[in-house]
Amino acid sequence: MREFNVPEFYKSPIISKLKEIRKTLDPKKKDFTPTKLDFGPVRFLIARHFGFCFGVENAIERAYRALDENPGKKIYFLSEMIHNPLVNSDLQSRGIQFILDTQGKQLISWDSITSDDLVIIPAFGTTLETKKLLAKKGVHTDEYNTTCPFVERVWKMSKKLGDKDYTIVIHGKSNHEETKATFSHAEKEGPSLIVKNIEEAKTLEKYIRGEKPKEQFYLDFQGKYSRGFDPSIHLKKIGVVNQTTMLASETKEIANYVKNVIEDLYGSDDKQFADTRDSLCYATNDNQSATYGLLEKGADLAIVVGGYNSSNTTHLVELCEEKYPTYFITGNEKLLNKSEIQHFDWKKKVEGLSKGYLPEKDKIEIILTSGASCPDSTVEEVLRTVLSYYENTRSVEEVLNEVEKLYAE
């Protein structure tokens, strides 16, 4: 896979070493067990896969190249490049401005954007309507377009469905930039609908079976269906794609549920349900598989690092919470001291304070992982901060050498 030019301050000697050891011994990614770092009073269980993915590294490389190659020029991102506060704040400190926030609120008027400005499409992609608006202004976006290729793959899959007269059901969050972009592209190809979770899939079943009036459909799925969508016509042939950062297990559950409903009505040989494969990106799949690997182990708590508005990170938190006390943080600044931690409640969408998060034991075990938009350097800072709370810890060099010897055996 291609190597990207990512700024050194996003890298970590510790994490890079661990990843290289595991990659060398397991290039086909068959082993999802965590790496154990035993520092004496603290043992970390590090996820097999986490951190910057292909799409994020591609976006970061292009963004910083745009800054280097366009001195003195006004440079804008349509919205946050990725969902990580450290990366976005650094880009802003270098002069990049965001036109929209993550909810679509206008931060900079379109009227102030001219053909002399550089506008970069973020990793999530953008809608056809926005691309048309920029083209009308004479703004070219191709050179530094950072749209993730795995997002574009979903768009191509949507086109194939539309070409075969399938309705495109998108498993995603309707207010997420990526899903907005995918919906825009899908709508061009055929009737499209966004379904957030299995509960909405079960609601959809009522309309597939004709058990609820179509007038109610427009209320149940308000803002989530394409123009001209008619549930009495457009729910007979269906294919499912997804926002690339959703939970793989949930996408499969939704797809299987809809498939069973369709086959119950029309039989399994009529091709009323498209045999689409999971359209998650490889990094989301790997990170979620690695998290399941963490769940097979015992630990006192889990720390998940990433942006609070990061969908893929939130799903890692959701998985860890099934078994462990889990703390969702943006970085080591949230570790106030050995007794207190500020962390995010993704269900309530608020940050709170917890005390006594590190148990009083002779030896504690901490699961540590991060989302696909979180720099490795941030994960290392969290690790080192926790270590600073304990005396007589083994050196990083000693522990890394031990890991290297263990996996070399």
Catalytic residue among 178, 200, 365, 380: 178
Between the alpha carbon of residue 149 and those of residues 58, 153, 182, 314, 385, the distances in Å are 9, 6, 13, 22, 35
Q: Which residues contact 277 (CB under 8 A, 6 or more apart)?
A: none
54 HSE (CA, 13 A, CB side):
13
365 has which bridge partners? 43
Q: Give the three-class secondary structure for 324.
A: coil
- Compute, in degrees rounded to 10, the torsion defined by CA atoms 136, 141, 142, 145: -150
68 HSE (CA, 13 A, CB side):
8
Sign of the alpha-carbon dihedral angle for 136, 142, 144, 147: positive
In terms of Cα–Cα distance, which of 96, 124, 19, 85 is closest to 334?
85
Q: Give the three-class secondary structure for 238.
A: strand
Instruction: Please say if 178 is a catalytic residue.
Output: yes
310: phi > 0 → left, psi -120 to 50 → alpha, else beta; which? beta
Q: Which residues are annotated as catalytic?
A: 178
